[in-house]
Structure 1
Amino acid sequence: MSFAARAVHTGDAATDAGTDASKVAPVRAVELDGGAALKIIKHCADASPGSATGQLLGLDIGAALDVTAAFPFPKIGNDGSYDPDGAFASEEGAEYQLDMLRCLREINVDSNIVGWYQSTYLGTFYSEELVATFLSYAESIERCVCIAYDPAYAEQGVCALKALRLSEKFVEAYEAGKGELTPENIHEKGLKWNEVVEEVPLTIRNSALATAVMGELTRGQDETLNSTDYERLDLSTAPFVEENMKLLGECMEDFANEQQKVAYYQRNMQRYQSQHAHWLQKRRQENARRRAAGEDVLPEEDPNYKAPQPPSRLENFLITNQVAEHVSQLENFTRKTEAKLELVGALAGK
């Protein structure tokens, strides 16, 4: 389990938030402060191509979750000292988190934990670790979100910030299965593969003072083209498309392995049902003979003979979501590239 999942237990004591047995409304929108967004982007970009994660702080008011501050989780090396290339801390990181929350509270910064942020590579954030971290946060925080930032996708000139949360249907099905996602609960709750993790509308908000300062800085300046404007006309598509196709191929291999697990389970289940039916028929014949002889009947259930366990449906759902994410990114990127090629073709024809 990641450090984000471990540290939330200490964050429960720091936030002093009581638990409420009543059901609360899910998060419908996330408002991210501009300063917090810059911290998240800088931390994830500096750590790229490695991983980065940190804590989200803010206010939980109404249907929207207001994220006003963020700070990174530390990494330590083998000797216990801080190392940007090391692994995320656990015990030391929990103490660091409490110290950070205490310091932020002293300077009147919101110190209520509302979730965590993490970096991702080409949208590869659908994993069992993400779901486990969400469930760990849910033990002490009623509503939480995960903000994922993709530095590689941001290079294509798009906003690479996404706010994610677990869907209500998934939580209900998971709780009904007592920590497992069974086919019966999936069918009962009507859970679909794209309803495990939901994307929440994300809005970046700046204070009125920051907006006024930016307006003052841009006043009187000539609108000239810069390097960023020219980069938008770059026709090189090979690296981005190649990496997405590579990851998509790996996901399809994982999906094929999951299908093989399901087929193997079905064969074992058919074998079990056939053997169990044969055993049950013999046991009923034996009990009929015992009743005729006035003897005690034998139980018609064999405790030592259990049905095979079905494979995890959660992994199958997450892989399907990951495939859909890569396909969506390729579709959006190729659509923009096609428009560039048409523009260049029109200019070349003149």
Structure 2
Amino acid sequence: MLVKKLKWTALGLISVLAINACDMEDDTNIDPSGTGGRLKVEMTDAPIDEASVQGVFVTVTEVRVDGKKWEAFQGPKTVNLLELQGGKTVTLTEGDVSMGSFDKLTLVLDYERDANGNAPGCYIQRQDGTKNKLVVSGNARTDIEIKGPKVDIAEGQTQTVVMDFDLRKAIKEQGGASKDYAFVTYGELQSSIRFVKKESTGSITGKLNNYNASTNGKAVAYVYTKGSFKQNTETSGQGESQVRFKNSVTSTKVNSDGSFTAAFIPEGEYELHVVTYRQEGSGQLNLNTFLDLNSETNLNAISVKANSQTNLSLSIKGILGGIL
């Protein structure tokens, strides 16, 4: 009797697990051609460390939700990412989807032609107006798959996600007299783009009250998850493309008046590091120093809440040393 009872208990447990597995599978799938909820996809950008760059353009020909083509996207669309800094966004697409959830978005890029049919499709525009075509280093793939948090689509509601291109991580200088640029490797490009649920993010705004760009140099504020910043690692360059500050959540340039905004940061605790750059004759910005900052807020434990803004009042008391 005990053996039979155990057998039936085991069978019951297997049945429950099977049902739950099916439920979980259904729950984590979404049909982009379905209806019941709506999805909105916006794009934003973090800055590039190049003073000679006037614009960075990408042409999107297709959007996929969990690997399935989303017909709501009417492409191609060409977007100047460099215009989308400090919390600015542009709507890439919006439309109906089925109820459910997803955690993966795919952008299909056209390297060859822009939305008007002109060449190239993805490119850097220099200050003199010339274009530098961008392609993925060592890989011809055009589908860029981005993993993110689980996004739930409820009946009759619109869920907004923001895709954040970190251009500093996404583009590398090729070197040489012509100073050409390219996208980093496919894997590095994937990790340079993140998407977040807009309603689950907050922002960090601040002002360096005694900042002077002519004496301090151009500055960039980097946001890291609390306790994750390792100066030697982050300033040395990582991966095949030698990306600096690779593990930052986001970054933002400091404006000429000392103000800055780091936007679309998931709720949590963060640390802030501000770095200055010196501009070479070629227009390239090279890492210079870390700024030593005064603040009433602990800059190694900055709390960010969803749908809120964390404000910092800062002053520069010195430098923390040069960067080799």
Asked if Structure 1 and Structure 2 have the same fold, meaning a TM-score greater than 0.5 normalized by the shorter chain, the answer is no
TM-score by length of 1: 0.22
Q: More helix by proportion, 1 or 2?
A: 1
TM-score by length of 2: 0.23
Q: More strand by proportion, 1 or 2?
A: 2
Higher-Rg member (1/2): 1
